[in-house]
Amino acid sequence: MRRTLYCGHLRKEHANQTVVLEGWVNRRRDLGGLIFIDLRDREGLAQVVVSPEASCFAEADRLRSEWVIRVEGKVQLRPADQVNPRLATGAVEVIAERLEVLAEAKTPPFPIDAGWRGEEDQHVGEEVRLKNRVVDLRRKRLHDNLRLRHQVVAAIYSFLDGEGFISVETPYLTRSTPEGARDFLVPSRLEPGHFYALPQSPQLFKQMLMVAGYDRYFQIARCFRDEDLRADRQPDFTQLDMEMSFVTQDDIIALNERLAAHILRETKGLELTLPFPRLSYAEAMNRFGSDKPDLRFGLELQDVTEVFRGGEFRAFAAAETVKALVAPSLLSRREIEELEAIAKSKGAAGLAWARYENAGLSGGIAKFIPADLRQKLSLNEGQTLLFVAGPWRKTVESLGAVRLELGKRLGLIEPGYRFLWVVDFPLLEWDEEASRWTYMHHPFTSPNLDDLHLLDTDPQKVRAYAYDFVLNGSEIGGGSIRIHRRDLQERMFALLGISPAEAQQKFGFLLEALSYGAPPHGGIAWGLDRFVAHLAGEESIREVIAFPKNKEGKETLTGAPAPVDEAQLAAVGLAIRSKV
């Protein structure tokens, strides 16, 4: 007996044929003397019927969920009243003639059968799921997600191949690449006391490939960043990494838009309208309080700094920025307090408010609100005004967080895929702690050449040729035009407080490469996990990664990280200082 087709591929046209199916018992039921088996493989379910007369009846009677079996039988059309329209195989069933148990199975720690029948899977806590990932991965939802991920990658390859890109692999055991995180280190056995760093991105290698004349490079690359854990981060994650030569920012943006459109067409059958909107960093921050605005709803921030300037409300009168948000409903005190907690967690001093009801403003700071504000914001009955005042960035970001929360709570978020580009990022930002300038993207990003004259005199005004690709409120990609001249790169290092000696020691190879005639070049990297999560309609990237780490960065299935033997440590010349 050899398998003739996948369970999930069984159709009406197979009626009267003898088939051999192999798979897992999704469910077994005894009905009026007959045994019904839902047999499952990656393509779906097929119904197998075993009658008491069949010679394999006794064997079928032993079956339990998740046993692996092989069945031979005749396909027949189901009686009209037994057709299951929810299953692609629902018009037929297989009358078993022979049946073989290939493997028995323990009772799974949680049921996985419902999703395959088109029903909702039972909710299971994530820790249990990750610990039992093999069973978890059997579920329909994860099969769908990993299949979608594959389709996305296949679409990327076909599109980029058609555009003349070539895929090149870059090393995992390498030297530090600064993307703003800590490196994972790998000790060298052959040179004790020396370490490789796992790449935070292939950034410098792809730039060197451009210097080497490869012109259009891409890679589905694993990146490693030892960052503090946040909800939706993994210490190892996947990028679609690209680099192009002799291009402008507009060329890179246009190509990536066509790539996004191609992927959505191939995987979702959707036609996106191009080009995507572009917002400058300043505009995104001012209007949405975020450099990755969610455009699926409005509720924009309004600037009211001037309305309060020098007025009697002290807290607002001298503030650098005062921003307002008009919530389209009357919020209760309690709701306002909850929103205030969100604003404060982003650095706001507080969240001021007033309600517009009974033809007037009342509550909160109502008595301080100048009359012309009502016109300016064209207020209506039944709305709540929310304000934050303070330094510009904290003000917009904290009210931006309130905006997002309101969007969710009030159900304002429209379905769909809203892509946009955020451009004109500042090149530098001031690092309070270190009290020096630091890069906003990475140290190889080119300043906007129109702003070059400000580099020494007013560095904060210098814009970068840097862009972020945003989908539904999350940053799914980011890139820049790079510095391709050694002198400018050296100037940049100096501005970042990297001494010539340090620059030489850490990035000498790049500077050397740049002195052999580098083409103007630029690129981008997409966060593939997050992008696929969006397409899959999943909140967490762990739902689109086969073997993810948990929220503590642990991989509980195999139990990593784990201690190693003394002998292994000795071989790489290491000793553990203390166990924390």
Nearest to 69 by CA among 148, 123, 7: 7
The nearest distance, CB 418 to ligand ASP, in angstroms, is: 22
Nearer to ligand ASP, 27 or 521 (CB): 521
Residue 327 or 483 having the CB closest to ligand ASP: 483
The least distance separating ligand ASP from the CB of residue 470, rounded to whole angstroms, comes to 14
Degrees to nearest 5, angle at CA 357 with 356 and 359:
95
Q: Which amino acid is at 30?
A: D
Contact 357, 330 (CB under 8 A): yes
For 166, the 3-state DSSP assignment is strand
Instruction: Tell me the closest approach of the beta carbon of residue 480 to ligand ASP, in angstroms.
Output: 5
Contacting residues toward ligand ASP, per CB under 6 A: 179, 201, 203, 478-480, 523-525
Residue 44 or 426 having the CB closest to ligand ASP:
426
Burial of 188 (0-12, 13-18, 19+ CB in 10 A): middle
Between 111 and 520, name the residue whose CB sits nearer to ligand ASP.
520
Minimum CB separation of residue 421 from ligand ASP in Å reads 14
Half-sphere exposure of 568 (CA within 13 A, CB side): 6
| Residue closer to ligand ASP (CB basis): 47 or 445 | 445
CB 537 to ligand ASP: min, Å: 25
Q: Which is nearer to ligand ASP, 142 or 492 (CB)?
A: 492
Q: What angle do CA 303, 304, 310 make, to 5 degrees?
A: 140
DSSP string, 471-515: ETTEEEEEEEEBP--HHHHHHHHHHTT--HHHHHHHHHHHHHHHT
Nearer residue to ligand ASP within complex by CB, 521 or 549: 521
Contact between 166 and 217 under an 8 Å Cβ cutoff? The reply is yes
| Residue 344 near residue 386 (C-beta atoms within 8 A) | no
Pick 177 or 290: Cβ nearer ligand ASP: 177
Smallest distance, Å, CB 21 to ligand ASP? 46
Smallest gap from Cβ 466 to ligand ASP, in A, equals 8
Instruction: Write the single-letter amino acid at 457.
Output: T
Look at residues 510, 381, 540 and name the one whose alpha carbon lies nearest to residue 442: 510
Terminal CA-to-CA distance of the chain, rounded, Å? 58
Extract the runs of DSSP E, i.e. beta strands, from 295-335: 302-303, 321-327
Q: Tell me how far, at minimum, the Cβ of 380 lies from ligand ASP, in Å.
A: 43
CB of 479 to ligand ASP, least distance (A): 4
224 within 8 A of 199, measured Cβ to Cβ: yes
Report whether 316 contacts 387 (CB < 8 A): yes
Write the burial class of residue 44 (CB in 10 Å: 0-12 exposed, 13-18 middle, 19+ buried).
buried
β-bridge mates for residue 353, sequence order: 386
How many other CB atoms are found less than 10 A from the CB of residue 152?
A: 23
Nearer to ligand ASP, 201 or 489 (CB): 201
Instruction: Give the CA distances from residue 467 to residues 43, 446, 455, in Å, rounded to whole numbers and listed in that order.
Output: 40, 12, 19
Q: Give helix then strand counts, H and E, for the chain.
A: 16, 22
Query: What is the C-alpha separation between 150 and 144, in angstroms, rounded?
Result: 10
Residue closer to ligand ASP by CB (options 41, 241) is 241
Nearest approach in angstroms of CB 206 to ligand ASP is: 7
Least distance from ligand ASP to the Cβ atom of residue 397, Å: 20
Query: Which residue, among 242, 134, 224, has the nearest Cα to 181 in the 3D structure?
Result: 224
Strand partners, 179: none
User: Most distant CA pair in the chain: distance in Å?
Assistant: 94
Question: In the complex with ligand ASP, which residue's Cβ is closer, 99 or 211?
Answer: 211
CB 252 → ligand ASP: shortest distance, Å? Answer: 9
| CB nearer ligand ASP, residue 22 or residue 179 | 179
